[in-house]
Amino acid sequence: MTSAELLAKAAYIDGYEGVQAFPYFGAERRGAPVKAFTRISHSPINVRSQIYEPDIVAVLDPGIIDLIDVTEGLKEEGKVIVNISKSPSELKLPRGHIFTYDGTGIALKYNLLVAGLPVVNTTMLGAFAKATGLIKLETVQEVIREKWPGKVGERNAEGAKEAYVKCTD
Q: Can you give the residue range of the structural domain that contains 84? A: 2-166
* Counted domains in the chain: 1
Q: For the segment 6-54, what is each residue's pLDDT rounded down to a tens digit?
A: 999 999 999 999 999 988 766 555 555 678 899 999 999 999 888 999 9
**pLDDT at position 95, please?**
94
- The one-letter code for the residue type at 45 is I
**pLDDT at position 23, please?**
82
Q: Output the domain CATH number for residue 132.
A: 3.40.920.10
pTM for this one?
0.92
Listed residue (152, 133, 135, 153) closest to 144, CA to CA: 153
Cα 56–Cα 57–Cα 60 angle in degrees, nearest 5: 140
133-138 long-range contacts, Cβ below 8 Å, gap at least 24?
134/11, 134/14, 134/40, 135/7, 135/10, 135/11, 135/14, 136/10, 136/14, 137/161, 137/164
- The one-letter code for the residue type at 126 is G
- DSSP designation for 160: H
d(CA 4, CA 25): 14
Q: Look at 28 and 75; give whichever has higher pLDDT.
A: 75
Q: For the segment 83-92, what is each residue's pLDDT rounded down to a tens digit?
A: 999 999 999 8
